[in-house]
Structure 1
Amino acid sequence: MSDYTMTITLDTDLAETEERVRAALAEEGFGILSEIDVQSALQDKLGEDVGPYKILGACNPPLASKAIAADADIGALLPCNVLLRASANGGTDVVAADPLAMLRMAGDDLAELGEDARGRIERALGQLSQ
Structure 2
Amino acid sequence: MFHYTLTSKRNMDQTIQSLKECLSEEKFGVLWEFDIKEKLQSKDIDFDKDYIVLEVCNPQEASRVLKKNQLVGYFLPCKIVVFDDKGKIKVGLPKPSVMIDLVEDEELKEIAIDIEKRLISAIDKSIK
Question: Normalising by the residue count of structure 2, what TM-score does the alignment of the two structures yield?
Answer: 0.91
Number of residues of Structure 1 aligned to a counterpart in Structure 2? 127
Where does residue 10 of structure 1 map in the other structure?
A: 8
Identity %: 28
Q: Conserved in 2, the CA contact under 8 Å of 1:42 and 1:50?
A: no
Code of the aligned partner of 1:87: D
Where does residue 87 of structure 1 map in the other structure?
A: 85
Question: Normalising by the residue count of structure 1, what TM-score does the alignment of the two structures yield?
Answer: 0.90
Q: Conserved in 1, the CA contact under 8 Å of 2:31 and 2:56?
A: yes
Greater than 2 Å deviation, 4+ residue runs: none
Where does residue 121 of structure 2 map in the other structure?
A: 123
How far apart, CA to CA, are the structure 2 residues paired with 1:79 and 1:106? 16
Q: Deviations over 1:14-67 (max 9, x none)?
A: 111100110111111110112111001111224212311010001111111111
- Give the aligned CA root-mean-square deviation in angstroms: 1.4
Q: Conserved in 1, the CA contact under 8 Å of 2:97 and 2:113?
A: yes
Query: Residue 101 of structure 2 is aligned with which of 95, 100, 104?
Result: 104
Instruction: Structure 2: give runs of 5+ residues left out of the alignment.
Output: none
Instruction: Structure 1: give runs of 5+ residues left out of the alignment.
Output: none
How far apart, CA to CA, are the structure 2 residues paired with 1:87 and 1:30? 26
Code of the aligned partner of 1:128: S
1:125: Cα distance to partner?
2.0
